[in-house]
Amino acid sequence: MSTNGRLIRYPEERALEDAAFTHGLMPTRIFALLLPIWRVDVRACVTAAEPYALIDRYLELGIGTAGLDSVTGLAGFFGLDDVVVERALRFLAGIGHVTMGGGRVALTELGQRSVRDGKRYLVTRQDRRTMYFDGFGSRPLTQEYYDSRAVTFLTHGAAAAAAGAREWPRFMLVYSPFGFRREALASLAGVADRERTYAARAVSSTYISMVYI
pLDDT at 8: 65
Residue type, 85: V
Domains and CATH numbers, the chain: 31-43+127-210 (no CATH), 52-118 (1.10.10.10)
Give the mean model confidence (pLDDT) for residues 10-27.
87
Confidence of residue 2 (pLDDT cuts 50, 70, 90): very low
What's the sign of the alpha-carbon dihedral 142, 143, 146, 149?
negative
Q: What is the DSSP letter of 90?
A: H
pLDDT at 200: 27
Give the 3-state secondary structure of residue 45.
strand
pLDDT at 170: 77
Give the mean model confidence (pLDDT) for residues 23-51.
84
Confidence of residue 191 (pLDDT cuts 50, 70, 90): low
Give the mean model confidence (pLDDT) for residues 161-168.
81
Give the mean model confidence (pLDDT) for residues 183-204.
52
Higher pLDDT, 207 or 199: 207
For the purposes of burial, counting CB atoms within 10 Å of the CB of 28, is it exposed (0-12), middle (13-18) or buried (19 or more)?
exposed
Cα separation values, 137 from 37, 38, 121, 140, 159, Å? 10, 10, 35, 9, 20
Give the mean model confidence (pLDDT) for residues 47-75.
93
pLDDT at 6: 58
State the DSSP H helix or E strand holding residue 35, giving kind and residue range, or none if neither: strand 32-50
Confidence of residue 65 (pLDDT cuts 50, 70, 90): very high
Confidence of residue 150 (pLDDT cuts 50, 70, 90): confident
Confidence of residue 7 (pLDDT cuts 50, 70, 90): low
Q: Is the pLDDT of residue 195 over 50?
A: no
- Residues 78/115, Cβ–Cβ less than 8 Å: no
Strand pairing category for 104-107 and 98-101: antiparallel
Confidence of residue 46 (pLDDT cuts 50, 70, 90): confident
pLDDT at 100: 95
